[in-house]
Amino acid sequence: MEVREIISPTDFEEAHMLINAMGKWDAEESRRFGVPDVVLMDYIYGHTIETLMEKFRQRGAGFFLASVDKYIAGCAGYSKSDDGIAELQKMYVRPEARGRGVAKGLMTACLDRMRDDGYASVRLETVTFMSDAIALYEGFGFKRSGHFRAVPQSLKPITIFMERTL
């Protein structure tokens, strides 16, 4: 398994495809909780390749791709929130690549780079039905926290915020 920083437009295209796959799955699951697709897409998955490049090429941000046997298996990134705290975002591993250390590799790359960028803490947002992701986050020392941003009303019942120090 290899983790590398996303730099080229082609890398961003690969990441965008992964994020779209995650969005499709997330929308299917979220519908069970009464979340309209449009709310979820507007809130989390409205990025284009260009907006991803703009977001993750900024100072204090990073974005990574993981591959297994030269097959793109997952992505994860982080950026600086409005109040200067690192936020883990866009973490996704293809179902067929799960259980092979991909998520751990991506998380380690992000946390290491956040430390290098001088962050003291990191936070993230997830949802209740992403139990494998929550277990991963807890395994890396994340604890549930209070809301750090406004969430659309339909997402409030299933949204979880987590944070940890670096």
CATH number at residue 105: 3.40.630.30
Whole-number Å distance between alpha carbons of 120 and 12:
27
151 found inside a domain: no
Average pLDDT score over the chain:
95
- How confident is residue 43, by pLDDT bands cut at 50, 70 and 90? confident
pLDDT at 128: 96
163 found inside a domain: no
Q: At residue 42, does pLDDT exceed 90?
A: no
DSSP H helix total and E strand total for the chain: 5, 7
For residue 139, the tally of other CB atoms under 10 A from its CB is 11
pLDDT-above-90 percentage for the chain: 90
86 found inside a domain: yes
Mean pLDDT value of segment 60-76: 96
Tens digit of each residue's pLDDT (9 = 90 or more) over 28-39: 999 999 998 888
Largest CA distance in the chain: 42
pLDDT at 63: 98
Domain, as residue range, for 70: 2-118
